[in-house]
Amino acid sequence: MSQPTRSLVIHLTEAHEGIANSANGRSVRVLQRGALDVVLGTPARPDEQSAHQQDEVYMVVRGRGVLFHDGKRNSFESGDFLFVAAATEHRFEDFSDDLLVWRVFYGPSGGELSRVAHGE
């Protein structure tokens, strides 16, 4: 029986190389541990996401664009950090061809605030 991952360094260059060999050619899962799910990739065109069951963050590695979220539009660029709570409508718009993001799902279904609402 193998030991669960306790620590890890994920190198951007190695993860990026994995995208070309992935099933969709746009993203590669680099870590899944419990509720934590980490992917490196670029959104499809058009980006037609549905609201997710977990809280989500994006860390923009390169590129720029507009995040439509919760009825608002905010521009972003390389180095920016984006947060989208569970069940929040969102998508990328007007993004550059070189957009590359780390996408991280985490926490329980319904988001972290669902724990507070249930007294956890």
Q: Are 6 and 34 in contact (CB under 8 A)?
A: no
In angstroms, the Cα distances linking 81 to 20, 108, 112, 117 are 25, 21, 18, 26
Q: What is the mean pLDDT of residues 90-110?
A: 97
Q: Are 84 and 69 in contact (CB under 8 A)?
A: yes
Q: What is the mean pLDDT of residues 89-99?
A: 97
Per-residue pLDDT tens for 37-77? 999 999 999 999 989 999 999 999 999 999 999 999 999 99
Higher pLDDT, 33 or 113: 33
Summary mean pLDDT of the chain: 92
Per-residue pLDDT, 118 = 47
Categorize the per-residue pLDDT at 33 as very low, low, confident or very high, splitting at 50, 70 and 90: very high
